Structure 1
Amino acid sequence: MVAELLLEAASLMFIGMVAVFAFLLLLVVVVQLISAVMQRYFPVKPADKPSMADNSSNSVSPAVIAAISTAIHQYRQQQ
């Protein structure tokens, strides 16, 4: 009797594991298919890279550099 129950439990576990594996495999295939379709019909355009002229406008002002340097110097003196 116990052997029959263990055999039935093992078979149910095997069926459940196969069902989960089949579902996950199907999910991976569907996601890859959707990805391929989206890349084919809606390709991603590369972003424009900023030029070197834009970099100079984003530079840090000397006053900010001086304030940061002073704060670091005071912090190191306290320790």
Structure 2
Amino acid sequence: MVAELMLEAANLMLIGMAAVFAFLLLLVLLVQLLSSVMQRYFPVKPVEKPAISDTTAKGLNPAVVAAITTAVHQYRQQQ
């Protein structure tokens, strides 16, 4: 009696694991297929990097640095 139940439980477990494995394998294959189709018909265009702005090239604006310093100081005073 117990041996029969254990055998049936093992059988159900193996069937369940095989079903999950098959589903995951099918899912991976479909995602790869979809990826290759999308890359073929809708290729990703490279994004051009914007030119370096003048403020970055010249350095930091002293007024902005002063505002940030004041804000950090006030925040630390509240803590």
Shorter chain as denominator, the TM-score bin is 0.7 to 0.9
Q: TM-score, normalised by structure 2?
A: 0.78
Higher relative contact order, chain-length normalized (CA < 8 Å, sep 6+): 2
Q: Percent identity?
A: 71
Which blocks of at least 5 consecutive residues in structure 2 are unaligned? none
Which blocks of at least 5 consecutive residues in structure 1 are unaligned? none
For the structure 1 residues 4 and 47, does the alpha-carbon distance in structure 2 shift closer, same or farther, using more than 3 Å as the test? same
RMSD: 2.7
* Paired position in structure 2 for 1:21: 21
Q: TM-score, normalised by structure 1?
A: 0.78
Following superposition of structure 1 onto structure 2, how do residues 33-72 of structure 1 map, counting pairs within 5 Å?
33-52=33-52, 55-57=53-55, 60-70=60-70
